[in-house]
Each structure stands twice: as C-alpha cells, then as structure tokens.
Amino acid sequence: MRITSWNCLGPRYNYDNETQKWLNNISWLKEFYPANLYVIQECSKLQIDLVRQNGLFNYAAWYGDDLDYFMRGTAILSDTRYFTEREEFFHNPNFRYVVPYHIKNIEENLDFILYNVWTKAKPIKKAYENIAYFFYENNVKEAIKYYTNLHDSLETIAEMPKTSLLLGDFNFGKDDIYVKNSFSKFLLKYNFKLSEGLEDNLCTYIDSKGNKFLNDYCFTQNLSSKLIEKGSFECIKDKSDHIPLIFEITK
C-alpha cells in the first residue's frame, strides 16, 4: 500500500485566490505523487470541503481545533474507502495533533491504526493553556503512551489491530542524530521502528532563511515501511515548505 504524506502549508486566510491555488496544489500532488492514501498536514476544514465539492477525492476526513488563531489541522484523502472517520472513542484532543484512523486494505491484507501527526506548540490563547499543554515532540511521546495503554485495554472489545503507522510532520527542527539516538529509542520501547529510506542528510523542510531539516517521518509498529519517492525543494517552490514523501507499507 502506498501512502503519500505532505505538509501542504494551507493558506491562513480563505481568500478565493489562495484556496484555488491550494486546490491546484492538491491536484498536482495527486498527479505526481500517486498513492492509495494521502495524509495531509496544515490544512483547513474549508479546504477539505472544497476537495469534496470539486471531486478531487472520493473520500476525505479532516480534524482540527480552534485553539490557535488560524484554523488549520490535518486531513486524510483517498479514492477508495480505506478509512472511516477518526476513531473518536480512541482520540485524545490534548495531543495536538496525533489523530488516529483505522485503516483497512482488504486487497493487500492490511489492517492498522494510522496516526496522522502534525505537532504543535502550546496554544497561543492563554485560555487554553491548561487544555493542550504538550510542546511539539512531547505530543507524540505522550500520545503513544496514552494510546498504547488504551489500545491494550480495548483490544478485545473493539477488535483494534496491534499494528500502527505514525506518519507526518513532527516539527522537530533538530538534526537526525537526535531522532535516531533519542526519539527513536523512546518509540522502540513501544515497538515502533523508523521507516527504511529516511537516511542521514535527508531534508524534508526548508525555513524562511533557507535552512533545511528532516521534520517529516514515518514509524511503524509490526509493519514494514520504505520511503520509495521524495519531492525536491525546487518542485515545492511557491507551494509549501515541505516536500512530499511516498512510503510503501507492507506486512
């Protein structure tokens, strides 16, 4: 199963010219980075509604909250019904954002929980500082601890699979040595392994000063994954500050 992950840097304001440009970017993504499933970060609900209205994908789901000034969240898109709406009984909104979906691909005999990741800082609005209080990567760490414990308690009741995919924009802003020597060791305690192909010196994000970082990752639990295609910074010019990544997921 092929999954494309991309932080699309959706517009902060819903001006007609910006939303049309964003729709064009999603069409571009679908044409040049073909996959069974698309995992999108930093997009608004209106943008995903426009995807539905314009028929770019047959199925689309979005999740976000209103704890920041700009209403952007995460989405999942496909032409085949591989997923249901996010697992609400399983989802904890305090982890911004680590959003779980139950994925089933009968043709390839795959059944797993996909966590769409776009980590955030603490909310800008002080009124919410005690609701969502984790900072960037700690959202992922706390989410995995929480979801693993919940998963263990619900496994026989809800028949949830013991296979998972942790994918998206982790917003580390750190070099890959930290990820491989520290963060990956933490995830390994929960049997999550870094995807093959995320080699040293691979960069996926460019900031306004031209500095490049590896911010986008894929970790699997009891699954295999391999990075099979990546975009270039030239191809995302005027589209986003992240390159798209395509991963091959197998049992």
Question: How many distinct structural domains can be found in the chain?
Answer: 1
Asked whether the beta carbons of 231 and 212 are under 8 A apart, the reply is: no
Q: Quick one: pLDDT at residue 130?
A: 56
Q: In 10 A of CB 149, how many CB atoms?
A: 10
Residue 200 domain boundaries: 2-250
What pLDDT shows up at residue 87? 66
Q: What is the pLDDT of residue 68?
A: 54
222 conformational bin, left if phi > 0, alpha if psi -120 to 50, beta if neither:
left
Query: How much is the pLDDT for 175?
Result: 62
Q: How far apart are CA 65 and CA 82, in angstroms?
A: 24
In angstroms, what CA-CA distances link 1 with 70, 109, 227, 230? 33, 10, 12, 16
For residue 125, the model assigns a pLDDT of: 57
**pLDDT score, position 65:** 80
Can you give the chain as a three-state secondary structure string? Answer: CEEEEEECCCCCCCCHHHHHHHHHHHHHHHHHCCCCEEEEEEECHHHHHHHHHCCCCCEEEEECCCCCCCCCEEEEEECCCCECCCCHHHCCCCCCCEEEEEEEECCCCEEEEEEEEECCCCCCCHHHCCCCCCCCHHHHHHHHHHHHHHHHHHHHHHCCCCCEEEEEECCCCCCHHHHHHHHHHHHHCCCEEECECCCCCCCCEECCCCCEECCEEEEEECCEEEEEEECCCCCCCCCCCECCEEEEEEC
Residue 57, C-beta contacts closer than 8 angstroms, at least 6 positions apart: 30, 38, 51, 77, 78, 79
Q: What per-residue confidence (pLDDT) applies to 67?
A: 56
Q: What is the pLDDT of residue 132?
A: 53
Listed in sequence order, the residues at least 6 apart from 212 whose beta carbon sits closer than 8 Å to its beta carbon are 203, 205, 206, 233
- Residues of the chain below pLDDT 50: 157
Residue 50's CATH number? 3.60.10.10
What is residue 101's predicted lDDT score, i.e. its pLDDT? 92
